[in-house]
Amino acid sequence: MAVVTVCGEPGCRADQAAKLAAQQLGFELVSEALLRQMMIEEFFHGCEEPSFPDRAYRPMLASIVAKLAVSHHFVVCGAGAESIVHRFPGAMRAMITAPLSFRVGTLMLDDRLERPAATDLLKRLDGSRREQRWKRLGRGIAAPHEFDLIVNAESMDSEHVAGLIAAAVEARGLREEGFLSATAEAQLQFQARLQLARHGITPSGRSALRRAAFQHPSEEIFANLLDFYRIPWEYEPRTFPLQWDADGRVLESFTPDFHLPEFDLYVELTTMKQAHVTRKNRKVKLLRAVHPHVNIQVFYQKDIQDLIFKHGLGERSIAV
């Protein structure tokens, strides 16, 4: 797998360099515009003007990049992409920079502006870029150590910059790394989806189920995760009697948090104090004794990730 990220300061023509590098390498080009389009299609059902939290950008970007890395070598030109791929085995991160005077001159040529207007435009672009990075990534400026290659574009055109990037990719033999494994992608996707679930963001094609009035935030997070994996669920659909008096009146009952009808599995989340956990575990044990046909799994909030991977919810198969 070869994933090359290219970013640059305004006025450095990073998009042109990324396009030319992709052509020289024979890789796919993923522009910032294409990234936005893919995010809209994947997470917002094709809505033309979606509204999403800025802090959701990074996990959305991670999800898209991981999905592409399973079957493509590509160059991605998008702000913050370098912070996503640092754990990828076949990644290279390039940064294009140049002195202020050069960047002003580039804007004068590209936008046909006089120097004062180009200088003002560059100030606005620099400020907007820092603000956007701060909102999306928590930092206004990327640190030099986040890149494998930093190129000063002052003395070379975009084609030469692209040539340096392509040469670095070839020198490191990135295309021989192979594509991202399905296991690695699953791990990356889970991390991204867990973060997105906190914002209530799910992919297109999600199960169209009625939303519930949840008793605890962890229940809503879990429901969003199930939606993301397109697994149908029901919230507190059934109450099981556990003990009766001499006249047959129910003295004690138990209502599990979720039911997954595809697997006929009940799920109970436990995030309370230990005393309450003990009482709930007693009820679950009693439920299994009184209703042995009921398939139920109990787990803690910290165990959500392990449970999903263990039972293969992403692959729509489960065994308990």
**What single string gives the DSSP state of each residue in 74-98?**
EEE--TTGGGTGGG-TTEEEEEEE-
Q: Distance (Å, rounded) from C-alpha 225 to C-alpha 193? A: 7
Q: Are 269 and 277 in contact (CB under 8 A)?
A: no
Lowest mean pLDDT among 119-123, 132-136, 214-218: 214-218
Residues 154 and 17 grouped into a single domain: yes
Q: Is the residue at 193 inside a domain?
A: no
Lowest mean pLDDT among 62-76, 87-101, 205-219: 205-219
Question: Going by C-beta distance under 8 Å and a sequence separation of 6 or more, which residues neighbour residue 205?
Answer: 230
Q: Give the torsion through C-alpha atoms of 304, 310, 313, 316, to 10 deg.
A: -170
Q: Are 134 and 78 in contact (CB under 8 A)?
A: no
Tokens of 242: 């556990």
pLDDT over 90 at 123, yes or no: yes
Residue 93 banded pLDDT, cuts 50, 70, 90? very high
Quick one: DSSP state of residue 140? S
Q: Is the residue at 19 inside a domain?
A: yes
CATH number at residue 126: 3.40.50.300
Question: Going by C-beta distance under 8 Å and a sequence separation of 6 or more, which residues neighbour residue 155?
Answer: none
Q: Are 258 and 234 in contact (CB under 8 A)?
A: yes
Q: Is the residue at 188 inside a domain?
A: no
Q: Distance (Å, rounded) from C-alpha 60 to C-alpha 44? A: 11
Residues 48 and 177 grouped into a single domain: yes
Tokens of 299: 């787990």
Q: Which residue has the higher pLDDT, 145 or 187?
A: 145
Name the pairing type of β-strands 258-260 and 265-270: antiparallel
CATH number at residue 296: 3.40.960
Above pLDDT 70, what percent of the chain?
87
| Site of tokens 């079957």 | 71
pLDDT digits (tens, 9 = 90+) for 280-289: 888 899 999 9
Task: Provide the residue count of the chain.
Answer: 320
pLDDT digits (tens, 9 = 90+) for 294-310: 999 887 766 665 655 55
Q: DSSP states of 191-239 as a string?
A: HHHHHHHTTT---TT---------SSHHHHHHHHHHHHTT---EES---
pLDDT of residue 14: 95
Residues 219 and 307 grouped into a single domain: yes
Residues 35 and 171 grouped into a single domain: yes
Residues 113 and 238 grouped into a single domain: no
pLDDT of residue 262: 85
Q: Which of 119-133, 197-211, 214-228, 296-310 has the largest mean confidence?
A: 119-133
pLDDT of residue 108: 95
Q: What is the mean pLDDT of residues 27-45?
A: 87
pLDDT of residue 27: 92
First to last CA, the chain: 35
Residues 146 and 212 grouped into a single domain: no
pLDDT of residue 291: 92
Lowest mean pLDDT among 77-81, 83-87, 119-123, 307-311: 307-311
DSSP H or E stretch at residue 43:
helix 32-43
Q: What is the mean pLDDT of residues 217-234?
A: 77
Residue 159 banded pLDDT, cuts 50, 70, 90? very high
pLDDT of residue 273: 63
Q: Is the residue at 272 inside a domain?
A: yes
Tokens of 21: 């590098």
pLDDT over 60 at 207, yes or no: no
Residues 230 and 167 grouped into a single domain: no
Nearest CA among 138, 107, 132 for reference residue 13: 107
Q: Is the residue at 54 inside a domain?
A: yes
Residues 37 and 162 grouped into a single domain: yes
pLDDT over 90 at 231, yes or no: no
Range of the domain at 50: 3-181
Residues 94 and 233 grouped into a single domain: no
pLDDT of residue 275: 63
Q: Please tell me the total count of domains within the chain.
A: 2
Q: Is the residue at 300 inside a domain?
A: yes
pLDDT of residue 205: 43
pLDDT over 70 at 210, yes or no: no
